[in-house]
Amino acid sequence: MKKLAALLALFCAPPATADFDAASYPPHETCALCHGLFGQSHTDKFPHLAGQKPGYIRAQLDAFLAGERSNDGGQMVSIVTELKHEDLPVVVKWFSEQDPPPPSPAPPDDAGMVLTAEAGCLDCHGADGADDVPYLSAQHAGYLTKQMRDFRDGKRTHSPVAGDHHQMLQKTDNVLDQIAAYLSSVERKE
């Protein structure tokens, strides 16, 4: 009985916080739980941020902070409010300077490549695109599919090009899946 009481006391004791100083941790670590410390997330619910264009990362942080963009469950709106204004450039710099994620294995056929070329995705989202336009290559296919569907279905409206994407992405889910699978398999060239 004494052993059980000792174990309960050990596990139920409040954590020691005397030496903990959240301000001593770099601000990008706030983002690391979902996006990975080096910007390569482990699940397609969260996008890779590693090697992403700095203007795009900053534009998304600003949109979440302003309430212009939300995500499923509102986690991002909640998390970005934990960052101080002076933390934002630090976060952007950290993730944009990391090595881009490796591409996914290539799809078994060329259908996605053809559909991507027809849609012109890489005309804007390639290396020559504007700094506030994200790279799509080597991104999680599941994340890309969800974002394309959200643009198509009018759920993602904060961007000035949301209307254009809404029109361009009037495709079946199967077509969007094939485009996303191809884009995720393309090595990012900066």
Task: Give the domain extent around 147.
Answer: 111-184
pLDDT tens figures, 152-164: 999 988 888 888 8
- Model's pTM, two decimal places? 0.85
- Is 79 inside a domain boundary? no
CA neighbor of 76 nearest in space, from 52, 102, 47, 101 = 47
User: What's the CA gap between 63 and 153, in Å, rounded?
Assistant: 19
Judge whether residue 12 has pLDDT over 70: no
pLDDT tens figures, 101-159: 999 999 999 999 999 999 999 999 998 899 999 999 999 999 999 999 999 999 988 88
- Is 57 inside a domain boundary? no
- Is 67 inside a domain boundary? no
What does the DSSP assignment read for 174-188? HHHHHHHHHHHTSPP
Q: What is the CATH number of the domain that holds 168?
A: 1.10.760.10
Distances (CA, A) of 86 to 25, 26, 92, 112, 154: 14, 12, 11, 41, 33
Angle at 144 between CA 157 and CA 133, to 5 degrees: 60
* Domains: count for the chain: 1
- Is 33 inside a domain boundary? no
